[in-house]
């Protein structure tokens, strides 16, 4: 097993956990960095950066590693999204998963060599790469795209545009005189804009009361929560899933495909009826 160096200080815990999973999968595959590069299409130096915590891998590399190690690609890609979100929220200087292109290996110094050691993961010698097929992550995201509300910038632009339009409409040219006449214009009142659930900053603040866990977003124990629901009940569900180490892809109050997958995994783990919906039985099991 590889003796891994310590990860850089300051990484978000979600990033640290994700890289730890990648390292375990790489160890399980029995591949050196060069053989891993040859099998995935991403160079050995790129894998050194990914596994060393200097850069997050693109989703294609994650899916290729999952295929080599026999891991569940959907669950691994869900962890990948959580790590990318955490990286972008942090002040760590290296941008994740941007401009990263698949590198072709063609017998260069980063390809396979005679001293790379035995290949224990793929006795057939077939390459498990993500090229030439639509990624699992793309298929999951395309099945049920999340509904997004207007961004604060768009809302601000609309309000300012309305105010400018009202002001300009008060300046007209009087007929026959050719002189501008200024009409009295009442100031446009800026109405408060309600935030959509995906813009509300949900957090998980766990407390235990009467033998049950609560995360501070909702106290419900009976609400029926299903795909495409939004709001604090969904955020509470996502927090409770995180507590049992099943990532819903983030705490955003949006019951999207990642949260749906996490619910199914939780129901399997907790020996419940698997339907992907959250009702009284699932709430009871998650709060214990």
Domain boundaries defined on the chain: 13-93+123-143, 150-194, 197-287
Asked if 247 and 78 touch (Cβ cutoff 8 Å), the reply is yes
- The position carrying tokens 């507590």 is 243
pLDDT in tens, 161-206: 666 665 555 554 444 445 544 444 444 444 454 555 556 789 999 9
Distance CA 76, CA 135 (A): 13
Q: Which of 58, 37, 39 is nearest to 48 (CA)?
A: 37
pLDDT in tens, 126-139: 334 444 444 554 44
Asked if 263 and 277 touch (Cβ cutoff 8 Å), the reply is yes
Dig out the tokens for 243 from the structure: 């507590």
pTM of the model: 0.38
Distance CA 102, CA 65 (A): 14
Specify the fold of 197-287: Muramoyl-pentapeptide Carboxypeptidase; domain 1 (1.10.101)
User: Which CATH number does the domain 13-93+123-143 belong to among 1.10.260, 1.10.3470, 3.10.20, 1.10.10?
Assistant: 1.10.260
Q: Which of 110, 116, 99, 98 is nearest to 47 (CA)?
A: 110
């Amino acid at each position: 097993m590889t003796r891994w160096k310590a990860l850089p200080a300051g990484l978000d815990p979600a990033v640290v956990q994700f890289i730890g999973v990648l390292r375990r999968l790489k160890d399980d595959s029995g591949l050196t960095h060069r053989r891993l590069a040859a099998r995935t299409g991403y160079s050995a130096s790129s894998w050194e950066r990914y596994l060393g915590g200097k850069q997050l891998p693109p989703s294609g590399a994650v899916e290729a590693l999952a295929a080599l190690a026999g891991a569940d690609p959907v669950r691994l890609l869900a962890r990948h999204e959580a790590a990318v979100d955490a990286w972008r929220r942090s002040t760590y200087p290296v941008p994740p998963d941007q401009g990263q292109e698949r590198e072709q290996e063609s017998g260069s110094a980063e390809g396979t060599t005679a001293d790379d050691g035995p290949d224990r993961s793929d006795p057939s010698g077939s390459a498990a790469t993500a090229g030439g097929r639509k990624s699992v992550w793309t298929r999951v995201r395309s099945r049920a795209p999340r509904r997004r509300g207007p961004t604060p910038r768009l809302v601000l632009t609309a309000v300012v545009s309305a105010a400018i339009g009202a002001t300009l409409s008060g300046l007209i040219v009087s007929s026959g005189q050719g002189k501008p006449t200024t009409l009295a214009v009442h100031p446009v009142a800026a109405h408060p804009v309600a935030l959509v659930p995906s813009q509300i900053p949900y957090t998980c603040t766990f407390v235990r009361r009467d033998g049950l866990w609560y995360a501070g977003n909702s106290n419900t124990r009976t609400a029926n929560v299903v795909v495409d629901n939004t709001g604090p009940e969904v955020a509470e569900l996502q927090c409770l899933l995180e507590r049992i180490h099943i990532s819903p892809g983030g705490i955003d109050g949006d019951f999207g495909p990642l949260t749906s997958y996490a619910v199914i995994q939780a129901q399997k783990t907790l020996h419940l009826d698997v339907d992907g919906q959250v009702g009284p039985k699932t709430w009871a099991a998650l709060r214990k």
